Structure 1
């Protein structure tokens, strides 16, 4: 049986960081300027004692409750996170226990960011269509705020914390997964990374993360914005073409495009470059920010809620970013 997306839910921490909050810290940036540049008004921020597994459990519980999913029916768990609770054990093992899933389930972590949802869907499809599993739960959960230097406005204005849960199954539910494609360019790894905190610390060349009056907490997220923008403009159009070619479709055959919700400036540039009509290009980050691995599934859930995504529609998903890594697919909703 082909693998299909059954349903999607998401969970956001209650703490928030608004543009008004940021303006108090960075008076040279007005509320309107931040909103215009990023497309974001509010970001949800995990509490000091709130971590990826907590958000993951919240998203999983939301999926079970909102869609009347029987926990016992899940036979594999994938947790996609780049901010795990621990080096070991695997966060998926912690989440399996806290969600009350059967001990017969498989449970693994996927350490990918902006492309992680696509890679996780590909893994779920392989597990189901090879007969290893029937119902796979994918949970994305990231708390990038814990990596962000409070004085670094370029990343603090963009990233928010959040989690999503998706059930992928083979039991005749709405959305099939097609034309999955991937891409990797590790030569650009240095452009978006946390150089401290792992076993290989103090990566050479990242003193720029602490430029100005910033004082490092030892775990600062470094992002070279221009390099990430150039990478995105380079790989996204060709990736869209590659996905469409693999599916034997044209751009006009796609009802809705849902990309990684990086920031509005980047997305609008891509939309115009690809010549996609606004009503077929879904953007949803105003109240969440860039939630990394969760941005696409949150956008999908919001598209359903807002009526932009309806049964029978063909959707192209594309994630891109940290790694450098990218991936995309087409699904029938």
Structure 2
């Protein structure tokens, strides 16, 4: 049995196509560049190509990890892939990734379907595998192409979401020790962030598109998000998630050097920071150049915080993800 488990390295990949606020305003002239930037804190977002999938991007993120951190891919003995936009209903995307990356065949490889809490859940799964002696080096990949689920006239979601992939190596040694986890689930919010058709419950397109009183598209065949309900859920959930994460790690709020939360949008993050009375210098933002990239926001933020000096040795960092499901999770990383 292994006692301590660490994040050893993080990398990420962004698709080439960039959609700026100016691009969005051209499609929705009733908005302004300044309004978008001030409301959601996003200036641009990267969008996957027409034939580019979450699997393609996850492979590129992993290749970046191998090169950037001089990682021998033969050392990897388990692969976890978090996505809600897989290539196929079956087979498992992680199996495809194993083959395309040229990883050895004597490894475990699974997908798991989670959104904005996915990275934290992935760390918990990886830590469990290492602690149990099942694996020594777990490759955790996240990848999302929410842009492919968004109706072209859905200005709200088009403004918020971007596509990305990340790669993290979890091992018995590394740069950040992974602490204890606070996890939660409440399925009552299932209808507030959903794509209803395409699964086994409603396999065929419903073709039920309507436009609401605000002119926004509502359809079972496209991503639907009830923004006000998601906002309310977040305000109810996140403060207690932070408190529970501190408690299960026997840590005081003032001992946390940096809070890295899921980068939903700046308005929500600002509201949460003020509600929890966290000083700006202890709260990290990393969404202006990426948008809300779902399960990728936390690893992208961690990577940037490490490289810009916001995270350094001997720092405690609390990470927390929350969203679709409803699902939420947090832990503390000791650098």
Q: Establish whether TM, by shorter chain, passes 0.5.
A: yes
Match of residue 181 from structure 2? 180
Distance 1:188 1:209 in 2: 22
Query: TM-score, normalization: structure 1?
Result: 0.96
- Tell me how many residue pairs correspond in the alignment: 331
Q: 1:30 to 1:97 in 2, by over 3 A?
A: same
Moved over 2 A (4+): 205-219
Counterpart check, 1:211 vs 2:212: yes
Q: What RMSD over aligned residues (CA atoms) do the two structures have, in Å? A: 1.8
Distance 2:179 2:306 in 1: 20
Query: Secondary structure of 1:316's partner?
Result: strand
Per the TM alignment, residue 254 of structure 1 is displaced from its structure 2 partner at its CA by 0.3
Q: Could you give the per-residue CA deviations for residues 231-272 of structure 1, whole angstroms, max 9, x where no partner exists?
A: 000000011111111111111000110000000000000000
Per the TM alignment, residue 201 of structure 1 is displaced from its structure 2 partner at its CA by 1.9
1:229-308 alignment, distance < 5 Å: 229-308=231-310
1:68-107 alignment, distance < 5 Å: 68-107=70-109
Q: 1:88 to 1:158 in 2, by over 3 A?
A: same
Per the TM alignment, residue 200 of structure 1 is displaced from its structure 2 partner at its CA by 1.4
Per the TM alignment, residue 219 of structure 1 is displaced from its structure 2 partner at its CA by 3.2
Match of residue 30 from structure 1? 32
Per the TM alignment, residue 210 of structure 1 is displaced from its structure 2 partner at its CA by 4.5
Q: 1:89 to 1:314 in 2, by over 3 A?
A: same
Distance 2:202 2:218 in 1: 13
Asked whether the 8 Å contact 1:260–1:295 carries over to 2, the reply is yes
Distance 2:69 2:179 in 1: 24
Per the TM alignment, residue 217 of structure 1 is displaced from its structure 2 partner at its CA by 8.3
Distance 2:284 2:109 in 1: 32
Distance 1:271 1:209 in 2: 36
Distance 2:209 2:277 in 1: 36
Q: 1:257 to 1:30 in 2, by over 3 A?
A: same
Match of residue 7 from structure 1? 9
Query: Secondary structure of 1:6's partner?
Result: strand
Distance 2:207 2:295 in 1: 24
Q: 1:318 to 1:206 in 2, by over 3 A?
A: farther
Asked whether the 8 Å contact 1:209–1:221 carries over to 2, the reply is no
Per the TM alignment, residue 178 of structure 1 is displaced from its structure 2 partner at its CA by 1.1
Distance 2:207 2:6 in 1: 42
Structure 1 residue runs of 5 or longer lacking an equivalent are none
Asked whether the 8 Å contact 2:195–2:224 carries over to 1, the reply is yes
Counterpart check, 1:322 vs 2:324: yes
Q: Could you give the per-residue CA deviations for residues 89-130 of structure 1, whole angstroms, max 9, x where no partner exists?
A: 111011111111000110000100000001110000000000
Structure 2 residue runs of 5 or longer lacking an equivalent are none
Q: 1:327 to 1:215 in 2, by over 3 A?
A: closer
Asked whether the 8 Å contact 2:209–2:217 carries over to 1, the reply is no
Per the TM alignment, residue 206 of structure 1 is displaced from its structure 2 partner at its CA by 11
Asked whether the 8 Å contact 1:77–1:105 carries over to 2, the reply is yes
Counterpart check, 1:58 vs 2:67: no
Distance 1:126 1:31 in 2: 45
